[in-house]
Amino acid sequence: MCGRYVSTRSPKDLTRLFGVADWRPEETLDPNYNVAPTDDVYAVLERAPRHGDEGAVRRELRPLRWGLVPSWAKDPKIGSRMINARVETVHEKPAFRRAFARHRCLLPADGFYEWQQLENDTRGKPRKQPYFIHPADGQVMALAGLYEYWRDPDRERDDPAAWLLTCTIITTDATDAAGRIHPRMPLALTPDHYDAWLDPHRDNADELRGLLTQPADGHLDARPVSSAVNNTGNNGPHLLDEVTA
């Protein structure tokens, strides 16, 4: 599972790293050291021109709300339960299979948080130690994700406020440092798979699943951090400071 992560890179950095051709300055997000479900997050995606439009596919940097709302959902609140999609079943689950075929994205991250179960305290209450898990070389993680459009049926179709864009993170079995803390982790893609994953014209499920069989190589470091991260209202670089576990 991935229920919290860190995303602090600027649009300038992200457009360069991911070859983005289109982003809107008015959609700039603040650095977020405690990304939580329903927050707006940066996503790299490609969209083909709509029928009758001219031009080639353009790679965009867009803010999406974390927690995927399927197009058929009656209530957008369902998104708070759709923050992750398991790589083993993402292509066949009703909530994700349409987005898997048509709407794939990359979610840039500095790293992610995970909690390790510890022995109960002296009062018998369970304790969990949060860890920040990140690439040892400081590179950006490109988390494999899906996005979807949801239209509010109570608004006119041409009303910009009628459309909600949401996303989810694909997870896999944890490896390296993450595996010592939690059995699942977000699946990061290698740069050589970015183009194929984002291509909106690519819809062969077997081929797409093949891109997800080898998570990005590279050593992951994990360090214990303060339980302040447990509160989604807390934010700032101090959340990444190492503490004694």
Residues assigned a catalytic role: 2, 114
Amino acid identity of residue 185, one-letter, is: M
Backbone angles phi, psi at 107, to 5 degrees: -115, 105
- List % helix, strand, coil for the chain (3-state, nearest 5): 20, 35, 45
Beta strands in 119-204 (DSSP E): 127-135, 141-151, 163-173, 184-186
Residue 146: Cβ-neighbour burial (10 angstroms; 0-12, 13-18, 19+): buried
CB 144 within 8 A of CB 170: yes
Residue 166, SS3? Answer: strand
Q: What is the rounded distance in angstroms from the CA atom of residue 43 to the CA atom of residue 12? A: 14
Q: What is the rounded distance in angstroms from the CA atom of residue 125 to the CA atom of residue 65? A: 34
CB 62 within 8 A of CB 43: yes
Sheet with 32-35: strands ordered across: 32-35, 5-7, 111-118, 127-135, 220-224
Largest CA distance in the chain: 68
